[in-house]
Amino acid sequence: MSRTIESPTAVPQTATARRKQAFDWVGAVRAVAAWVVTLLIIFPILFLAMTAFKTELQAIEVPTHWFFTPTLDNFREVQERSDYLLYAKNSLITSIGSTLLGLAIAAPAAYSMAFFRSKRTRDILMWMLSTKMMPAVGALVPVYALAQRSGLLDTTTGLIIIFTLSNLPIMVWMLYSYFKDIPNEILEAARMDGAGVWGEFRYVLLPLGMGGLASTGLLCLVLAWNEAFWALNLTAANAGTLAALIASYSSPEGLFWAKLSAASLLAIAPIVVFGWFSQKQLVQGMTFGAVK
Amino acid sequence: MAFLQLRNVEKFFGSNRAIKGVDLTIEKGEFIVFVGPSGCGKSTLLRLIAGLETIDSGSLYLDGRDITDLPSSKRDLAMVFQSYALYPHMSVADNMSFALRLAKADPKVIEEKVQHAAKILNLVPYLSRTPRELSGGQRQRVAIGRAIVRSPKVFLFDEPLSNLDAALRGQTRVEIAKLHRDLGATTIYVTHDQVEAMTLADRVVVLRDGLIEQVGTPLELYDKPANQFVAQFIGTPQMNVVPIADLPQLQAAVKGVPSGGFVGLRPENISVKPAGVGQVQGTVELVEALGAETLIYVNAGTKTPLVARQSTRPSVRVGEPVGIEIDAAAAHLFDAQGRVARAAAAAAH
């Protein structure tokens, strides 16, 4: 190394200057550590993105080639072999549909729990949360049977219902914690001002709870988009979402890493872009209204 | 005819009987103050009238109409909350006009009424601000403005001054009194501060444990309290109430004290004299010189010292032996249960 190393004893420094320099080192270490952690987290995604632009042969080469001529062949093949747009449309319909339906049910529920508390409110909330403690597969057989009997198997309607139901506990909890922070007296003031239940909801609760509704909605949109278990088990050719599309590339014909990566990239790209733009609301939502 | 009438109103919270059968009649234009210690049910009673709590039994009439089961939104009452409860997402003007906009009033009328209220309350320069950008006193005025704009049948105030500092509280109290004089609106005002009650009210309702102890004009309550509780609640410093057993020497001066009863003496009816003079002897325990008046606490062998109020500067020192002269005609007599046995013969001040 040609760089000269400055020893603290060699260069006379005042105590404050030394302390200042030490502080900078801490900052630098922190920055490096943050980058390392970030790279570790994002590495699989980067690797996936890289593989998607390789040929199948390059994809399975060990050691991996970091520099290669990118190709779009995989994407072309994915669109040809399986109808990407159909899957994307299904993902869009089911995630938006289940989010809207979920909000429509969760908002009134959270409203009544936050503002008309009873002795049992806490228990009901805990019970709702407890339904998330069971693995989804535990309910697979009855849910499948119900879907089959009611003709909802492999339909977007069926998926919307099941996505809504599985996200509902989280939505109620999130909205409840948001609404709880709104002083009851403001709603009472609206009541005194002549607002009925709808007026109170429309003119006071909705504008005041907009932040909470937005972050709850965003989180559920992401959860529904990424949902794989029910999407795989309850759909076939008609209502499959992008999660099902990805899975179809690890099918009996063997693993095609490059195409699988291309399909995955296509599946996650919209929600990653969406998440990037709405990260502020998402972070707010995940801290459950603690940060205002 | 009675404007607002409560008939045997009761309220339970679980098994706790918070309001125990209240009967009250309020006339149009009256300024009524509910006063009492914390937990006496005064706020609950106001919320029952407002419709924010349901009445469990009894009935409530407003202007000849039974409104017992009517929702708040249809009662035509306006309320000023302790926390002001302004709509944080609306401007001052929108806050004040909210009720009228809900009622789909003519925009021109709304504008006029908001401007009028803003002028009365000195809020004109702030109409486009949000509540966050206002001081506590200004928020308070917006809350009052929101009530005025609607011209409701009755104004309800729930401890509206308790979040203000002492100086502003006094000033706002005067403004509320003036406002009531100008608007002549029927008002029910809840406070735990008996000075607010005395200065604002046409009639004061003293509550304890969910029951009305006494209803009367401020001076009626002061001069003729119905019982020991009211006697001690109204007036600062509070009335000296002494078991007659502790001061048997008073028997001679104040005749007719029931056995086991109490003698009540307002501080201004006790005067401090040189030792040896007066019916009771004691030593000075504390002297509070307030400028215009002086409070002298005298230990006369009773559980709590006797407080005397005099308008002259203090001439005694702590520890000094003094005599106490009692205006026997102004003494209130209570029986062993604290019920009034004999009101003061003369309101001698």
CA A45, CA B171: separation in Å to the nearest integer? 66
Per-residue confidence (pLDDT) for residue B40, from 0 to 100: 93
Mean pLDDT of A96-122: 93
pLDDT at A281 over 80: no
A172, A178 Cβ separation under 8 angstroms: no
Per-residue confidence (pLDDT) for residue A252, from 0 to 100: 61
Is the same domain home to B311 and B333? yes
Number of A to B CB contacts under 8 A, please give it.
Answer: 60
What is the average pLDDT value for chain A, to the nearest integer? 84
Judged by a CB distance cut-off of 8 A, whether residue B153 touches chain A is: no
Per-residue confidence (pLDDT) for residue A14, from 0 to 100: 54
CA B244, CA B264: separation in Å to the nearest integer? 10
- Tokens 């991996």 belong to which residue? A64
pLDDT tens-digit readout, A112-136:
999 988 889 999 999 998 888 888 8
CB atoms within 10 A of CB A92: 16
Look at A195 and B89 and tell me if their CB atoms are within 8 Å: no
pLDDT at A189 over 60: yes
Per-residue confidence (pLDDT) for residue A251, from 0 to 100: 63
Evaluate whether residue B156 is within a structural domain.
Answer: yes
Q: Which of B86, B87, B99 sits opposite A194 (nearest CB)?
A: B99
Instruction: Tell me if residue B304 falls in helix, strand or coil.
Output: coil
Which of the two residues, B272 and A253, has the higher pLDDT score? B272
- Residue (of B200, B217, B210) closest to B161 by Cα position: B200
Residues of B in contact with A203 (CB under 8 A): 98, 102
For residue A187, the chain B residue with the least C-alpha distance is B85
Look at B73 and A194 and tell me if their CB atoms are within 8 Å: yes
Question: B24 lies in which domain range?
Answer: 4-223
B300, B313 Cβ separation under 8 angstroms: no
A114, A181 Cβ separation under 8 angstroms: no
Residues of B in contact with A196 (CB under 8 A): 71, 73
For residue A199, the chain B residue with the least C-alpha distance is B102
Residues of B in contact with A292 (CB under 8 A): none
Evaluate whether residue B75 is within a structural domain.
Answer: yes
B107, B159 Cβ separation under 8 angstroms: no
Report CA torsion sign: A197, A202, A205, A209.
positive
Residues of A in contact with B146 (CB under 8 A): 189, 193
Residues of A in contact with B89 (CB under 8 A): 207-208
Min Cα–Cα distance to chain B from A112, Å: 15
Write out A206-236 in H/E/C secondary structure.
Answer: HHHCHHHHHHHHHHHHHHHHHCCHHHHHHCC
pLDDT tens-digit readout, B305-327:
999 999 988 788 999 999 999 99
Reading phi first (left if > 0) and then psi (alpha if -120 to 50, else beta), residue B184 is in left
pLDDT at A280 over 80: no
Judged by a CB distance cut-off of 8 A, whether residue B81 touches chain A is: yes
Judged by a CB distance cut-off of 8 A, whether residue B211 touches chain A is: no
CA distances from A280 to A212, A271, A276, A290 (A): 12, 15, 9, 14
CA A276, CA A283: separation in Å to the nearest integer? 11
pLDDT at B179 over 80: yes
CA distances from B213 to B61, B208, B236 (A): 22, 6, 19
| Helices A257-277 + A210-226 axis angle, to 10 | 180
Per-residue confidence (pLDDT) for residue A199, from 0 to 100: 92
Please check whether the domain covering A80-286 is classified as CATH 1.10.3720.10: yes
Is the same domain home to B72 and B153? yes
Is the same domain home to B219 and B118? yes
A169, A102 Cβ separation under 8 angstroms: no
Query: Residue ranges per domain, chain A?
Result: 15-73, 80-286
* Long-range contacts of residues B132-135, Cβ cutoff 8 Å, at least 24 apart: B132/B88, B134/B92
Parallel, antiparallel, or unpaired for β B77-80 and B154-158?
parallel
Residues 21 to 60 of B: which have CB under 8 A from any A CB?
50-52
Is the same domain home to B122 and B181? yes
Provide the CA A246 distance to its chain's centre, in angstroms.
17
Look at B85 and A193 and tell me if their CB atoms are within 8 Å: no
Evaluate whether residue B232 is within a structural domain.
Answer: no
Look at A186 and B89 and tell me if their CB atoms are within 8 Å: no
pLDDT at A291 over 50: no
Mean pLDDT of B103-108: 94
Is the same domain home to B210 and B243? no
Evaluate whether residue B241 is within a structural domain.
Answer: yes
Q: In this prediction, what percent of chain A has a pLDDT beyond 90?
A: 37
Tell me the H-state helices in chain A.
Answer: 15-52, 56-60, 73-81, 84-115, 121-130, 140-149, 156-180, 184-192, 197-200, 206-208, 210-226, 229-234, 242-248, 257-277, 279-286
Min Cα–Cα distance to chain A from B99, Å: 5
Is the same domain home to B196 and B251? no
Residue A58 backbone phi and psi in degrees, to 5: -60, -35
Is the same domain home to B174 and B81? yes
Model confidence at A11, pLDDT cuts 50, 70, 90, reads very low
Mean pLDDT of B148-152: 91
Is the same domain home to B137 and B208? yes
Residues 6+ apart with CB under 8 A from B57: B8, B9, B10
Residue A286 backbone phi and psi in degrees, to 5: -75, -20
Judged by a CB distance cut-off of 8 A, whether residue A204 touches chain B is: yes
pLDDT at A3 over 50: no
Is the same domain home to B245 and B290? yes
Evaluate whether residue B347 is within a structural domain.
Answer: no
**B294 - beta bridge partners?**
B289, B310
Is the same domain home to B145 and B48? yes
Which of B201, B223, B245 lies at the terminal end of a domain, its last residue?
A: B223
Is the same domain home to B122 and B96? yes
Instruction: Tell me if residue A166 falls in helix, strand or coil.
Output: helix
CATH number at residue B115: 3.40.50.300
What is the average pLDDT value for chain B, to the nearest integer? 91
- Tokens 């908002």 belong to which residue? A107
Judged by a CB distance cut-off of 8 A, whether residue A191 touches chain B is: yes
What the block records as the tokens of A179 is: 């609404």
- Tokens 């006339």 belong to which residue? B27
Residues of B in contact with A194 (CB under 8 A): 73-74, 99, 102-103
Number of domains in chain B: 2
pLDDT at B147 over 70: yes
Model confidence at B176, pLDDT cuts 50, 70, 90, reads very high
CATH number at residue B323: 2.40.50.140
B84, B143 Cβ separation under 8 angstroms: yes
Q: Which amino acid is at B271?
A: S
Q: In this prediction, what percent of chain B has a pLDDT beyond 70?
A: 98
Is the same domain home to B48 and B111? yes
Element holding B231 (H helix, E strand): helix B228-233
pLDDT at A1 over 50: no
My answer on whether omega of the bond before B237 falls inside 30° of 0, hence cis, is: yes
Evaluate whether residue B230 is within a structural domain.
Answer: no
pLDDT tens-digit readout, A132-181:
888 888 889 999 999 999 999 999 999 999 999 999 999 999 999 989 98
Look at A207 and B99 and tell me if their CB atoms are within 8 Å: no
Mean pLDDT of B105-112: 94
